[in-house]
Amino acid sequence: MTDSKGRVLVTRRVPEAVAERARREFDAVLAKEDLDAAGAVRAAEETGAEALFIGPKSRLDAAAITALPASVKIIANSSVGYDHMDAAAAKARGIIVTNTPDVLTDCTADLAFMLLLNASRRAYEYEAIMRQGWRQGFGMPDMLGIRPSGKTLGIVGMGRIGQAVARRARGFGMKVLYQNRRRLPVELEEGAEFVPTIEELLPRSQLLSLHLPAERGAPPLMDAKAFALLPKGAVFVNTARGSVVDEEALLAALKSGHLFAAGLDVFQKEPDFDTRFAELPNVFLTPHVASATVETRDAMGFRALDNIAAVLAGKPAPDPV
């Protein structure tokens, strides 16, 4: 009876509004905890799932994809990034893979800006001083940050999120440079300057924010050579993926003072990130939460369900990857 609704396995905990819609529209099985790849495969077999709604903990590599039951028609990532799974292996099996673009653009850009401002203006150190009771005033030259407004911001990856960061930067009077696989049409550039190579972009970027997708197995874009190309005193922000950064090189650049500060939301290893970052006063840290607002998490969940609904109804997925 319920089978006509389509059997959906949700392998991660989701907001209540998303769970409610999943139960209403589908024959849905909702995991009580975020499942890893083995748990997701096991649950897919047990439920005979036609659709998997997954999160980053379900790291479906090629072996896990091979082990999925033949019933699975779609793997809907409830995220824009899908580097946690082997999309090529899934597609080779005829499984449709989707993600959730657009809906988290503004929240990610907001968080990138939050990191940029907090890192530049030493928010972590000021906060800590206040929580310890302050009591000792600062002299004029003490505890100075750097002014982000009016500076030159380099953006690597000028997709939707990069463009949203550029819009915010204009409000702060920043000059925006960007590097991207292709130059954008002029109307989308809105005054930002295209710089064809990363080697040309870095020396001109007083502030740098990454917004490129991670490629599975690719070497980190930001290695020691790349950090050395940034001007001394630059501020570095990463809300993209930890894998695009050589963390040893970043730690060295922060410790030497070559970088004034960094704002980091993503790490090579999550949640077991390298805690040496937490020992440095010139780093502002958040635990991979760029999309973590009520509005955006609901929208991401709904978008994943929209993709599932389309595919199970025999229609093209709105967001194939």
Catalytic residue numbers read 241, 270, 288
Cβ burial, residue 88 (10 Å; 0-12/13-18/19+): exposed
Binding flag, residue 159, ligand DGY (CB under 6 A): no
Q: What string of DSSP letters covers 156-211?
A: E--SHHHHHHHHHHHHTT-EEEEE-SSPPPHHHHTTPEE-S-HHHHGGG-SEEEE-
Minimal CA–CA distance to 164: which of 107, 212, 221?
A: 107
Rule CB under 6 A: which of 120-149 touch ligand DGY? Answer: none
Q: Rounded to the nearest whole angstrom, what is the least distance from the CB of residue 161 to ligand DGY in the complex?
A: 10
| Site pattern 172..211 for ligand DGY (x: CB under 6 A) | ----------------------------------------
Report whether 76 contacts 307 (CB < 8 A).
yes
CB-based contacts of 302, cutoff 8 Å, min separation 6: 17, 18, 21
Residue 180 beta carbon to ligand DGY: minimum distance, rounded to whole angstroms: 18
Does residue 11 belong to the site contacting ligand DGY (CB under 6 A)?
no
Determine the length of the chain: 321
How far is it, in rounded angstroms, from Cα 207 to Cα 204? 9
Among 15, 48, 56, 318, binds ligand DGY (CB under 6 A): 56
**Residue range at the interface with ligand DGY (CB under 6 A); choices 9-17, 73-81, 109-117, 163-171:** 73-81
Q: Which letter does DSSP use for residue 144 in this model?
A: -
- In the complex with ligand DGY, the residue whose CB is nearer, 56 or 231, is 56
Which region, judged by CB under 6 A, interacts with ligand DGY, from 15-23, 74-82, 123-131, 166-174?
Answer: 74-82
Give the H/E segment covering residue 262.
strand 259-264
- The helix-helix angle for 105-120 and 160-171 (nearest 10°) equals 50
Residue 213 binds ligand DGY, judged by CB under 6 A: no
According to CB under 6 A, which one of 58, 79, 180, 205 is a site residue for ligand DGY? Answer: 79
Based on the shown chain and the rule CB under 6 A, indicate whether residue 80 belongs to the binding site for ligand DGY: yes
x/- site string to ligand DGY, residues 285 to 314, per CB under 6 A? -----xx-----------------------
Interaction of residue 104 with ligand DGY, rule CB under 6 A: yes
Size of the site for ligand DGY (CB under 6 A): 7
User: Residue 216: which of 291, 321, 112, 311 has the closest Cα?
Assistant: 321
Q: Give contact residues for ligand DGY (rule: CB under 6 A).
A: 56, 79-81, 104, 290-291
